[in-house]
Amino acid sequence: MGFSSALQSRAAHEALIVRQDAELRLMETMKRSIQMKAKCDKEYAISLTAVAQQGLKIDRADEMQGSLMTKSWRSYMDELDQQAKQFKLNAEQLEVVCEKLTHLSQDKRKARKTYQEEHAKIAARLNHLTDEVVRKKSEYQKHLEGYKALRTRFEEHYIKAPGRSGRKLDDVRDKYQKACRKLHLTHNEYVLSITEAIEVEKDFRTVLLPGLLEHQQSVQESFILLWRNILQEAAQHGDLTSEKYTEIQQRINTVISNINPAEEYGEFTEKHKTSPTTPLLFQFDETLIEDIPGKLQSSTLTVDNLTVDWLRTRLLDLEASVKDCQEKQLKMIEHVNGGSPKANGSIISNGSNTSNGIQSNKDSMCRQSKDLNALRCQEKQKQKLVDMIKCALNEVGCEELPSGCDDHLTLEQNFIENGYNNEQQRSNSTSSPGLGIMNELMRRGGVLTLLRGRGRHFKRKSTPQPTTPMTRSRQGRFNKMQPRSQSLGSLSLSLSTNRPLYEEEWFHGVLPREEVVRLLNNDGDFLVRETIRNEESQIVLSVCWNGHKHFIVQTTGDGHFRFEGPPFPSIQELIMHQYHSELPVTVKSGAILRRPVCRERWELSNDDVVLLERIGRGNFGDVYKAKLKSTKQDVAVKTCRMTLPDEQKRKFLQEGRILKQYDHPNIVKLIGICVQKQPIMIVMELVLGGSLLTYLRKNSNALSTRQQMGMCRDAAAGMRYLESKNCIHRDLAARNCLVDLEHSVKISDFGMSREEEEYIVSDGMKQIPVKWTAPEALNFGKYTSLCDVWSYGILMWEIFSKGDTPYSGMSNSRARERIDTGYRMPTPENTPPEMYRLMLKCWAADAESRPHFDEIYNVVDALILRLDNSH
């Protein structure tokens, strides 16, 4: 058990500091004791030398000439003198050991100080951002109050003096506009500070703090290793050859050799073990915008005339910060690979591999890894903000805002238009009594006065435009439009203006941006689509040109359409002009239209599908039985609720994108998707038997063992096909399988699927079907096809239990606890023993021990064949 996972709490941190202090005191005690021993050895050496000298003073030595006794005595005294010299040498060596212990104590103090400073540094960043979020919220409330007060004054002046103007009125308008701008800017700062705080807090828990603790553990263990070496050296200098001292020395050596740096902190860590720090939740306070009409949305950047310049400037600053982090990382990596190890922050070496103050290569590499992690976290935090701002700018075309477009409205125009539209929508959708402020202004004539002489806020049009002499003269040229780079065969690219835009082959409806990017592969590829932003439809031209660029079609005051060039009465004519003229859509982008990308064969028109009856409900909307007009074929249609955010709509279409490339009798077939208008729909084959789970429960008394095994084989066949395509289903269960009239099972519901050999969940585990999910996926968020094998074992259990609920009577958390301790569900009644053994193999704790679907299919198929032959 290591520091990084067990010592993340504040109490554990303080305990570690206390432990370091205790170790320093122990070093001082050892040093004093070794110094006293050296002093004693020196004094003993002096006394022993005096004894030897005294013993050599033999009276009347001449009379003892040739005496063996005298010779033995002299040798004895000489050896006694040598023993004294050895004691003196040992004492000097012990003084060297004390110096090493002193250096080690100094280095350990420095290491403790460095750890405290770095811990305080990363904690201070989180505390600072926490305070910043609170401060931004306070500023938000302050500007909100000012905004509301000035808005009230603004409304009162227009109601009291409709149609009038003057200095006082202008002053009220200016103050209201400034307050609105301050509110919007503060809103964005609040959103960004929350986003940054979330990233910093997550990195504090998962990267920075564990990295610091892991490094500190390495440092602590390195000191223990050096400390042990010093003790061994001190013990060696006190080693005598007598039997008595040998026994003592053996005991000393045994005790010292038992010191193991890796186990030194085991008991300490267990004693102070705490759970990982609880995540701090940073959430946008939605009460701030409850009473504000318009475009401010929680946790969403507002991009308009008041904020676009500020966002662009902030984007440049953040991109510079990201680049700076990347350059620092590159330098650090080059330094590690090509230069000498960094000295900054490491323990100072005095030149010997066994001397004091040396930190091992492992310690140095650990520090460098920690510093690199800190830079990567900083880069990721800033990149998160960059992506957030870019996404907001892209959504409204602010990456390429054409000059001369009718996009900069005055404050009162935005106020009147948005207010009027909101009131109209409320009056059309509800029957609540009372007039809104804008209806009241209109009733008093204020709106007409304000709008007189000004361009109306444009509404995007997708309806056909009247045919004029000019459009008829261009008709021939429109019908001749062909791609310059590739032939589209018999595909017609007529741009007739007497048909709706959604009938054009290159118009892709409300296809999400991610899907559009998949279609535009070569420079000059383009298509036209529709996007809905703040309940307003906008037509967007998407072009592949040094990346992907998106241009909002601008509307002029007289209802024409344009980019930077001349206006045209229809969108078709505008696109045709850009295509034939080969002029850039905007000078800044340089994007030229070269090849129109037409709808794929599986992009159907919404009008081709007739919804008949609702047959179910999915995660994103209702499921209908429907009919295709062209073939009269009965189909199943999944719809996506119009009110869902774009992110959810993208996840909805992900199932269609995955299914379109699969063709297998045990995989539900995709017929197409409908994105020409709302609601978005996925059209699939209609499997009349319905959900496998419902079928099992309704027909529990009629199901035979042979039919149940056949269902398992069908599911294994479908999953074997998916495994060969590197598709991880992630939600395999009886509720997500369908049964046709011939009792054949088809795998369905690919909303959580991923086309990867291995998939790591990064967006939380909120919608995970816990009782069907493999332990490694629940514990580590790591999915492979072998996770689907675990789920297949649960599916087999559902089939043989005829639709019972797995782990019945247990909560999700209780089931997880039991599984982790080795519990597996008992065999359902009348299950063949071979099939239950296969279930247990699918539920192996070690994923690599589970069979792959090819093996599973072969086993089940062989069992069915044996059953058929026995009958």
Instruction: State the Cα–Cα distance between residues 119 and 99, nearest whole angstrom.
Output: 30
Annotated catalytic residue within 203, 363, 714, 731: 731
- Structurally, at CATH architecture level, domain 469-599 sits in 2-Layer Sandwich (3.30)
- pLDDT at residue 330 above 70? yes
Question: The tokens of 220 are what?
Answer: 């602590």
% of the chain surpassing 90 pLDDT: 36
Over the stretch 403-434, which tens digit does the pLDDT of each residue have?
333 333 333 333 333 333 333 333 333 333 33
pLDDT value, residue 752: 61
Give residue 397's pLDDT.
53
Average pLDDT for 515-540? 85
Over residues 510-514, the mean pLDDT reads 77
Domain boundaries, the chain: 3-57+70-302, 469-599, 601-686, 694-871
Cα–Cα distance between 140 and 667 in angstroms, integer? Answer: 52
More confident residue, 91 or 750: 91
- Residue bearing the bigger pLDDT, 749 or 183: 183
- In the chain the first and final C-alpha atoms are separated, in Å, by 58
CATH for 601-686 (3.40.50.2300, 3.30.200.20, 3.20.20.70, 3.40.50.300): 3.30.200.20
686, 636 Cβ separation under 8 angstroms: yes
Residue 430 is predicted with a pLDDT of: 35
Instruction: Please report the pLDDT score of residue 247 as a whole number.
Output: 66
For the stretch 669-693, pLDDT in tens is 888 888 877 888 989 889 988 899 9
User: In sequence order, which residues have a C-beta less than 8 Å from that of residue 539 and are 6 or more positions away?
Assistant: 460, 462, 501, 528, 529, 530, 552, 553, 561, 571
Pairwise CA distance, residues 113 & 285, whole Å: 39
**pLDDT per position as a tens digit, 231-251:** 988 888 877 775 655 766 676
CA 15 – CA 737 distance, rounded (Å) = 54
Q: How confident is the model at residue 459 (pLDDT cuts 50, 70, 90)?
A: very low
- The mean pLDDT of 770-793, rounded to a whole number, is 90
* Coil/strand/helix, residue 462: coil
Task: For residue range 24-73, list pLDDT tens digits in order.
Answer: 999 999 999 999 999 999 999 899 899 989 988 877 666 666 667 777 77
Binding positions for ATP are 615-623, 638
pLDDT surpasses 80 at 344: no
Task: Indicate the average pLDDT of the chain.
Answer: 79
What span, in angstroms and rounded, lies between the C-alpha atoms of 193 and 143? Answer: 17
Residue 708 has pLDDT above 60, yes or no: yes
CB-facing half-sphere around the CA of 650: CA atoms within 13 A: 10
pLDDT confidence of residue 404: 32
pLDDT of residue 161: 62
Q: Which CATH number fits domain 694-871: 1.10.260.40, 1.10.1040.10, 3.40.50.1820, 1.10.510.10?
A: 1.10.510.10
- Specify whether 41 is catalytic: no
- pLDDT at residue 531 is higher than 90: no
pLDDT category, 659, cuts 50, 70, 90? confident
Q: In which band, very low, low, confident or very high, does the pLDDT at 165 lie, cut at 50, 70 and 90?
A: low
Binding-site sequence positions: 615-623, 638
What per-residue confidence (pLDDT) applies to 442?
Answer: 34
| E strand intervals along 399-545 | 525-533, 536-544
Task: Give the predicted TM-score (pTM) of the model.
Answer: 0.43
H/E stretch holding 474 reads: helix 469-479
Helix (H) or strand (E) holding 595: strand 595-596
pLDDT of residue 293: 62
Pairwise CA distance, residues 395 & 301, whole Å = 11
**Average pLDDT for 275-284:** 79
How many whole angstroms separate alpha carbon 758 and alpha carbon 317?
36
The pLDDT confidence band at residue 855, using thresholds 50, 70 and 90, is: very high
Average pLDDT over residues 564-584: 92
Closest CA to 360 of 560, 224, 542: 224
pLDDT band at 845 (very low <50, low <70, confident <90, very high): very high
* pLDDT at residue 597 in the model: 92
Confirm if 694 and 643 have CB atoms less than 8 A apart: no
Other C-beta atoms lying within 10 Å of the C-beta of residue 267: 9
**Higher per-residue pLDDT: 725 or 855:** 855
Q: Considering only 511-520, 646-655, 739-748, which range has the smallest mean pLDDT? A: 646-655
Per residue in 585-639, pLDDT tens? 999 899 999 999 988 777 788 888 999 999 888 778 888 999 998 888 899 998 9
Pick from 751, 753, 759, 767: which is nearest to 812 by CA? 767
Kindly report which listed range (273-282, 511-520, 697-706, 782-791) carries the lowest average pLDDT score.
273-282
Burial class (CB in 10 A: 0-12, 13-18, 19+), 779: exposed
Q: Domain 3-57+70-302: give its CATH architecture.
A: Up-down Bundle (1.20)
- More confident call, 716 vs 465: 716
pLDDT value for 110: 94
Q: Which pLDDT does position 400 carry in this prediction?
A: 40
